[in-house]
Amino acid sequence: MPSSTPLALFVGMPGLELSADEIAFFREANPFGLFLFRRNLDNSEQVRHLCAQFREAVGRPDAPVFIDQEGGRVQRLNNGNWPSFRSLGEFGALARKDLELGKRAMRLSSQAMATLMAELTIDSGTTPVLDLARKGTHDVIGQRSFGDDPDLVITMAREVVAAMLEAGELPVIKHIPGYGRVTVDPHFDLPVVDAAPEDLRDTDFRPFVALRDAPWAMVAHLVFTRIDPERAASVSPVVCDLIRRNIGYDGVIITDCLTMDALKGSWAERVTAALDAGYDIALHSQGDLAASQAAAGAARPLSEQSLARIARAQAKRGATRSDVAALHAEVEQIFKENGIA
């Protein structure tokens, strides 16, 4: 039987269903959640079965299953069996032409996406992105961002957060405290930002301060040289303290995937460093069973403080469902009428 308190860990898995060995691992280790990728998704019935397999294995009917489903190029539900959603950058462009129309389109699209994920029994699409995309920002952000105006980002992100919660989905604001100044891709290199904390507070940090009541956040892999020059934000107690105290964020914080090449060390060392830094949950979504076992070996049960944050997040979830096809068609019509293909 799994231990009574889950590990502070999300893991991945390699295929469309759990093998006997994977079921045994989940039953024994009891990681808090499962993170899905394209490799895990075929059709709606299969996705629901996979989620049910995981929840049965860990013995928790409410065990969370997350996915990257922002819209645009970062949407895993994109094999033709589900609608294709526009990027946040496209909604930002629409809002710059007509703010109220942009907000409405964003709300409708988020309602449709949230309902789709709820129907699949997926708990979060780990969206919205609050990073500022400015000139020189690496394409790893690009159209995933609403733009370079903090006020516009705040306004549009609030529409996503509200719609997700209404449908019972967990919005995850990312990448706290801000990825907008990165010039390299953290999947392959460690980004380094040399901006002064005062400048960051007035720009990159502002959206996260404004949405500090969002239930979940994902922390970035990058070094802020004037905050902690030695460690990436995702493994830095200094940055974690800044997020909690200066930004004022007291929701659940999960790391970005710890297998990115931005970080060094073994899987176990990365998990230990992230949890030692003070973050609630480590994300190790590679999917290889041996790697997941190594990550689980370094993880620890969720703390009382983390469990309280998770409970507060759960309490914010509604249960309103929408007509996915109708809302998606309405959004597409809005873009068509405004000359945006």
How many angstroms separate the CA atoms of 46 and 42, rounded? 6
Residue 263 DSSP class: S
Cα 178 to its chain centre, rounded Å, is 13
Running DSSP on this structure, what letter comes out for residue 96?
H
256 is catalytic: yes
Q: Enter the tokens of residue 105.
A: 């389109």
Q: Which one from 187, 202, 213, 323 is the annotated catalytic residue?
A: 187
Active site residue: 256, 280, 284, 328, which one?
Answer: 256
CA dist list (Å): 290 to 21, 41, 199, 258, 322: 11, 22, 43, 15, 40
Look up residue 202 and give its amino acid. D
DSSP category for residue 17? S
Amino acid (1-letter code) at residue 156: M
SS3 327: helix
Catalytic annotation on 187?
Answer: yes
Check: CB of residue 120 under 8 Å from CB of residue 44. yes
Start-to-end Cα distance in the chain: 53
Known catalytic residues are: 187, 256
